Structure 1
Amino acid sequence: MKLHIISVHHKLPSWASDAIADYVKRMPADCAMVLKELKPEINPAKEAQKIREAIPKSSYIVALDERGKDVSTQALSEQLAHWRTLGQDVTLLIGGADGLDPELKKEAQLTLRLSSLTLPHAMAKLLLIEQLYRAWTILQGHPYHRV
């Protein structure tokens, strides 16, 4: 299984890019993260179409949205375990400054929320990737996640 993360944003600051790259390289091949970055569009319909075109075929789609399901880190690890049983890749979508197109959100099999707080894009992307790594370490019994 691969975790595809499609995000819409301008260039991230180096501190975020460096941290993201570190977590991505920690993931094993059987749960690899594949990042696809798209430039924001003025036209929301055009942006939504670019996102749709970037989603791998037969992928389980997860939209990130402020009104999505709030999950704990432990629940995310359980969700990751479930995704691994599906036999398909998972694509997580991070929209641009105006979020994801409503129709695109309807196409997702799951909608998650990272936080009730408004986060800068770089922090939201880093938080998602770190939490996916943490979820994987929980499943492995790795000491990274201490309760």
Structure 2
Amino acid sequence: MRIQIIAIGERMPSWVQEGYQEYVKRIANGLSISLVEISAEKRNKSSNTPKILEKEAQRMLQAVGKDHYIIALDKGGQSWSTETLAARIRGWQQDGTNISILIGGPEGMTTELLQQAQLKLSFSAMTFPHPIIRVMLAEQIYRAYSIINNHPYHK
């Protein structure tokens, strides 16, 4: 099973990269996880936000792996427990399903992009900065992996 995280934004602060990498290296032998960083469109006071989001959406979709199950992180998505995430990952592993998880930029994602996702998932009703979500997502994947493998990390 491959998990591909596709995120808007490059050159994250070192603490984001270090936090993300810490959890990914803990999973190194169990799941294949990759991060694809999509450059954010330039923004200013006179920016056309819908056009920016459309350009970013196109680049995100181009990065999605062939035949991947697409999950979009969105505050309006389903809210899962870590145990539910673990059960779904276990199922995807058994089915040989590869997934792409999309993390939008500051303004989120287009409605069209969200409609193309097979699943919309929310971390919380609260809004978080997208760099933090990278670390949180990696940690939750690791925690789910720990549950699947009866590792004491989750206990």
TM-score category (smaller protein): over 0.9
- The residue aligned with 1:76 is 85
How many angstroms apart in 2 are the aligned matches of 1:101 and 1:41? 14
Instruction: Give the partner amino acid of 1:74.
Output: E
CA distance in 2, matches of 1:140, 1:36: 27
TM-score scaled by structure 1?
0.94
1:88 and 1:118 map into 2 onto residues whose CA distance is 29
Unaligned ranges ≥5, structure 2: 43-51
* AA aligned opposite 2:2: K
Structure 1 residues 145 and 30 mapped into 2: Cα distance closer, same or farther (>3 Å)?
closer
- What's the secondary structure of 2:6's corresponding residue? strand
Contact 1:2 1:30 survives alignment (8 Å): no
CA shift, 1:28, in A, is 3.6
SS of 2:153 mapped into structure 1: coil
- SS, match of residue 4 in structure 2: strand
Q: Matched residues in 1 for 2:117 and 2:90: separation?
A: 19
1:81-139 deviations in Å (ceiling 9; x for gaps): 12112323110000111111111111111110011221112211110110011000000
Unaligned runs of 5+ residues in structure 1 are: none
Identity fraction in percent: 38
Which residue of the partner structure matches residue 129 of structure 1? 138
Q: Which amino acid aligns with 1:107?
A: Q
Does the CA contact (< 8 Å) of 2:104 and 2:130 recur in 1? Answer: no
Q: Matches of 2:95 and 2:117 in 1, distance apart?
A: 15
Q: Is the 8 A contact 1:62 1:111 kept in 2?
A: yes
The residue number in structure 1 matching 2:115 is 106
Paired residue for 1:67, among 70, 76, 84?
76
RMSD of Structure 2 on Structure 1 (CA): 1.2
Query: Normalising by the residue count of structure 2, what TM-score does the alignment of the two structures yield?
Result: 0.89
Q: How many equivalent pairs are there?
A: 146
> Which of 38, 44, 61 is equivalent to 2:53?
44
CA–CA distance in 2 between the matches of 1:59 and 1:142? 27
**Take 1:47 and 1:18, find their aligned partners in 2: how far apart are those partners?**
25
Distance 1:57 1:51 in 2: 13
Q: Output the amino acid matched with 2:15.
A: W
3-state SS of 1:144 partner: helix
1:97 pairs with one of 98, 101, 106: 106
**Structure with max Cα Rg:** 2
Shift of the alpha carbon at 1:30? 4.4
User: Following the alignment from structure 1 to structure 2, what is the Cα–Cα distance between the partners of residues 75 and 16?
Assistant: 25
Distance 1:68 1:83 in 2: 19
What is the CA–CA distance in structure 2 between the aligned matches of 1:80 and 1:12, rounded to whole Å?
Answer: 27
Superposition misfits of 4+ residues, deviation over 3 angstroms: none
